Amino acid sequence: MEENQGIIIEKLKKINVDYDTLKPFMKKYLIRIEDLIQDKTSERSTGIKMIKDSRFSLSFISQSLECSRTTLYNHDELLKRYIELSIDLFETDDPYISYDKLKATIGELEVKVNKMISRDIDTELLRVENENHIKKLKENFDQINRLQARNAELSKEVHELRLKVNNSSKSSANITNLREDK
């Protein structure tokens, strides 16, 4: 009863209730309820232990029959195969083996899900990175086009200046020739 009172106090704390503020009849009900819960918990633990202890193996059977395991392996291993089949059939209905298998399956699935999440995050990061690279490429192409247009303008100016220089050279040559002629 004393140990159950500690359990009751801990449970009440989880639901934000102070044991000391409860009326005596409520405390009595809580103690009776916790006694029932503890009895059922004990029954369940006993049942679980019984189920776990009910498993059997080749070794268990050979010890129970007081024969060696090699006896079970003789005669085309008929006895061994029979026992192994019986174990498989017995374990099919064993909730703890089913639980262990489900737990293992859940663990494997969690690993797969984590890998898929990681893959999806990596894929999304690559997509964003690719978008940034595409944006940068577009900016670079725009700059290249601007520079090519500017280059064309400057080439045209250079060409016009060369023509002017050539024309002015010819004019200077003509002027020089005219001066010499006089």
Interval 122-146 mean pLDDT: 97
Residue type, 22: L
Cα dihedral: 72, 77, 82, 86 (round 10): 70
pLDDT in tens, 81-108: 999 999 888 877 777 778 888 999 999 9
Q: Is the pLDDT of residue 1 over 60?
A: no
Q: Where are the domains of the chain?
A: 1-54, 56-93
Find tokens 């060369």 and name the residue. 162
